[in-house]
Amino acid sequence: MKEGESRQHQEATALSARTPTPTTLSGRLLLLARATWITLVTMTGGIFVASIPAYLSKLRTVCHEKPCVSGQLLPENMRALQNIGLSIDLYVAYVLALDVLVALGFCAIGAVLFWRRSREQGPLFISLALVLFGLTWPGTFESAQRHPVWGDLASFLISLGLPALVVTLFVFPDGRFVPRWTRWVAVFAAAQPLLHLFFPHSPLVQPPQPVSVVVFVGLWALCLFAQVYRYRRVSGRVQRQQTKWLVFGVGALVAAFIAFSVPLAFFPRLGQPGALSLYYDLASRTVVGSLAFLLIPFSIGVAILRYRLYEIDLIINRTLVYVSLTVTLALLYFGSVSATQAIFRSLTGQQEQPQLAIVVSTLLIAALFNPLRYRIQSFIDRSFYRRKYDAQKTLEAFSTKLREETDLEALNEDLVGVVRETMQPAHVSLWLRPEAASKGRQTT
Per residue in 15-50, pLDDT (tens digit) is 444 445 667 778 888 899 999 999 999 999 998 888
pTM here? 0.70
What pLDDT does residue 12 have? Answer: 44
3-state SS assignment for residue 120: strand
One-letter amino acid at 351 equals: Q
What pLDDT does residue 425 have? Answer: 59
pLDDT tens-digit series, residues 379-417: 766 665 555 545 556 556 656 666 665 555 665 666 666
Least confident of 51-55, 94-98, 186-190, 340-344: 340-344
Separation between Cα atoms, residue 377 and residue 383, nearest integer Å = 10
Q: Are 408 and 444 in contact (CB under 8 A)?
A: yes
Separation between Cα atoms, residue 145 and residue 251, nearest integer Å = 32
C-alpha distances (whole Å) from 357 to each of 166, 340, 343 are 50, 5, 10
Q: What angle do CA 65, 66, 71 make, to 5 degrees?
A: 105
One-letter amino acid at 254 equals: V
Separation between Cα atoms, residue 249 and residue 165, nearest integer Å = 14
pLDDT tens-digit series, residues 46-83: 988 888 888 888 888 888 777 778 888 888 888 888 88
One-letter amino acid at 196 equals: H
What pLDDT does residue 401 have? Answer: 61
Per the model's pLDDT, the better-predicted residue between 295 and 416 turns out to be 295
What pLDDT does residue 309 have? Answer: 60
3-state SS assignment for residue 410: helix
For residues 246-255, average pLDDT = 84
Q: Are 320 and 384 in contact (CB under 8 A)?
A: yes
Is pLDDT of 209 > 70? yes
Separation between Cα atoms, residue 374 and residue 391, nearest integer Å = 18
Separation between Cα atoms, residue 348 and residue 306, nearest integer Å = 63
What pLDDT does residue 127 have? Answer: 92
pLDDT tens-digit series, residues 297-331: 998 888 888 766 666 666 666 776 777 777 777 77
What pLDDT does residue 8 have? Answer: 44
Separation between Cα atoms, residue 442 and residue 265, nearest integer Å = 76
Q: How far is Cα of residue 385 from the mean position of the Cα atoms in its chain? A: 20
pLDDT tens-digit series, residues 109-165: 999 999 988 888 888 999 999 999 999 877 777 777 777 777 778 878 888 888 888
3-state SS assignment for residue 395: helix
